[in-house]
Chain A
């Protein structure tokens, strides 16, 4: 589904991703962990097409197409979804209108007929239930005055509505209390299928108890420095990231 090869990218002249490789297949859940400032959000931004990042080297193929060649809206229409680490507030744009527009444009891109008002409402109700999203929030301005947790849950609600093939969750767990974490995880688990894939960026092993990943990667200094299975997350929780740095430095000296 997603093949990232030797990705180098930076922002404002600062190199952040330095030769990153990652392959994600349909049906898989990958967790990406790593210290603050390692470049996790940068990776998510580059994949989603944020303009101020400059890709200097490497390639990304998404379902066989060149992802880097597409504008952000095309990436989304092709089935890529980023749940933002810091969802912004847009006063005056109603949540539901926004979703109606988004779904409409995605469906048009896929040559699907638009949903009528009734169908849209039914879909919205079903997904609200799935991710236990408060109906009152659905009709409010996009994220305006939402608590941190409500914003994160709105991201998952949008994910449920748009049914992407690849979802990137950027620290969706931070700022969530244990109940909200359980609800969000339950939602994601219900949305998991053989056809879609998830990249879950997180600091804490906690989330991975609920959403069990197939693979765990450590991103440090702009690269994936270690990959393993869910046991790696436990090890990281115990030992932190410093031992990896040492390992990496050794590796660097060897090279």
Chain B
């Protein structure tokens, strides 16, 4: 058993689990869910927090982020009573996307007040806080997955989650307007927040979700360890945008598992901008049935001493599935980027088409990127490709722009936007594209090389 007594958070987590088990909160959950929590917790105690000796964390040393004391957020909250804490409204304004017609809801440290802006929700979509959903016998099964492999943080979340958002879309329902979920993380003391979200998008249903992650900056440190499970049923279509614009002092770890059924479509666009000192995204697409289509797009813009790590997995389990992945990175100042893209093609998964590309623009001499594609192919009739590049600004392009009167900072912003264009142009809503481009431009003058 890994005891990590040197890490105060480890002890806090152990105490937190005991409190949760003792409190009435977990008592009202199904016995299967409680068993799943116990399994997950036992596993986490074995795994501990990851170190660079773990293959998946080789380039991402989180040691320096585990030194402070942290309190566990949400553990003592009473059953079924989601309490949304007070939060700076400016954070929501920052996350709001101008001119986007959407349903907007705000989660504060994983808790949702029940309010939706942008009109009543249409028929066919149901939103529920996880605080309630986990105690609902009809929904409990969605939280009972106990096996998270060697995913340290997902395991920890599965043991200790108390809140989050449950989204269900009825079979055949096409939700026209996107849902904009704003995750606010805020606290006046150091906390570990562990929201868990579950989406179930029914057969032939359509859903578009934009998630923004913002946090308050201050002297307090926030660890947000989120876990999302996205179930895309047969013939369903899901469009999913994640925009991470958190403040310094925030450490974001986000595990997402997507399960795709027959002929379903899932698009993910993950944007990570300067701010949070650590961002680790684990995005895993499990193609559990045939004829699915999956697009994973990512753009990370790292500045300061930020560490942004994107680990993706596309797990081709069945034949005739198509997956395409494009991640682009811009590394400024003293930042570090990590990209690890694994494509696994099972023996059964004949006629797989799997493509992956990772391109990086390293702008400062002190910035680094570790890019690693991993292909494991056990089927013989497949088309797979991958590529990875690391480059600098084109001097020619910079000179051309400057020769037209454009200052160096603006010229660089234009070129970074242009580099990002392959990703941003894939976005479904022009308002989101404009918002992202503005975010990128906004961060360039500050974060010049």
A binding-site residues for B, Cβ under 8 Å: 48-52, 71-73, 75-77, 82, 84, 87-88, 90-93, 97-99, 101-103, 105-106, 109, 141, 158, 162
Closest 8 CB pairs of A and B: A92-B418, A92-B421, A76-B405, A72-B402, A102-B404, A106-B405, A93-B418, A73-B402
Please determine whether B419 and A76 come into contact, CB atoms closer than 8 angstroms.
no
**Per-position 1/0 for B391-430, Cβ under 8 A of A:** 0001111011111111110110011011111100000000
Cα(A141)–Cα(B418), bound, Å: 9
Cα(A54)–Cα(B207), bound, Å: 58
Residue in chain A with minimal CB distance to B399: A50
- A105 contact from B399, B403, B406, B415, Cβ within 8 A: B406
Q: Supply 9 further A-B pairs (C-beta < 8 A) apart from A76-B406, A90-B401, A91-B421.
A: A48-B403, A72-B399, A73-B407, A76-B403, A90-B397, A101-B414, A102-B404, A102-B405, A162-B405
Q: How many residues of B contact A (CB 8 A)?
A: 24
Cα(A119)–Cα(B231), bound, Å: 50
Cα(A79)–Cα(B400), bound, Å: 15
- CB neighbours (8 Å) of A101 from chain B are 406, 410, 414
In the complex, what's the smallest C-beta–C-beta distance from A115 to chain B, in angstroms?
14
- B418 contact from A77, A90, A102, A162, Cβ within 8 A: A90
Cα(A222)–Cα(B420), bound, Å: 42
The total of Cβ contacts below 8 Å across the A-B interface reads 76
**Could you name 16 residue pairs across A and B whose Cβ atoms are closer than 8 Å?**
A49-B402, A71-B408, A72-B402, A82-B403, A90-B401, A92-B417, A92-B419, A92-B422, A93-B417, A98-B406, A102-B401, A103-B405, A105-B407, A105-B410, A106-B405, A162-B405
Q: From known contacts A92-B417, A101-B414, infer whether A109 and B403 are also in contact, taking CB-CB under 8 Å.
A: no
- B396 contact from A88, A102, A105, Cβ within 8 A: A88
Q: From known contacts A51-B395, A101-B410, infer whether A93 and B415 are also in contact, taking CB-CB under 8 Å.
A: yes
- CB neighbours (8 Å) of B411 from chain A are 73
- CB neighbours (8 Å) of B405 from chain A are 73, 76-77, 102-103, 105-106, 109, 162
Q: From known contacts A90-B418, A92-B418, A93-B418, infer whether A98 and B397 are also in contact, taking CB-CB under 8 Å.
A: no
Cα(A76)–Cα(B404), bound, Å: 6
Cα(A141)–Cα(B406), bound, Å: 17
- CB neighbours (8 Å) of A158 from chain B are 404
Residue in chain B with minimal CB distance to A144: B418
Residue in chain B with minimal CB distance to A78: B405
- CB neighbours (8 Å) of A141 from chain B are 418
In the complex, what's the smallest C-beta–C-beta distance from B394 to chain A, in angstroms?
8
- CB neighbours (8 Å) of A109 from chain B are 405
Cα(A97)–Cα(B414), bound, Å: 9
In the complex, what's the smallest C-beta–C-beta distance from B406 to chain A, in angstroms?
5
Residue in chain B with minimal CB distance to A75: B403
- CB neighbours (8 Å) of B420 from chain A are 92
Q: From known contacts A88-B397, A90-B397, infer whether A98 and B414 are also in contact, taking CB-CB under 8 Å.
A: yes
In the complex, what's the smallest C-beta–C-beta distance from A101 to chain B, in angstroms?
5
In the complex, what's the smallest C-beta–C-beta distance from A71 to chain B, in angstroms?
7
Q: From known contacts A51-B395, A88-B397, A105-B407, infer whether A76 and B402 are also in contact, taking CB-CB under 8 Å.
A: yes
Cα(A244)–Cα(B120), bound, Å: 83
Residue in chain B with minimal CB distance to A90: B397
- CB neighbours (8 Å) of B417 from chain A are 92-93
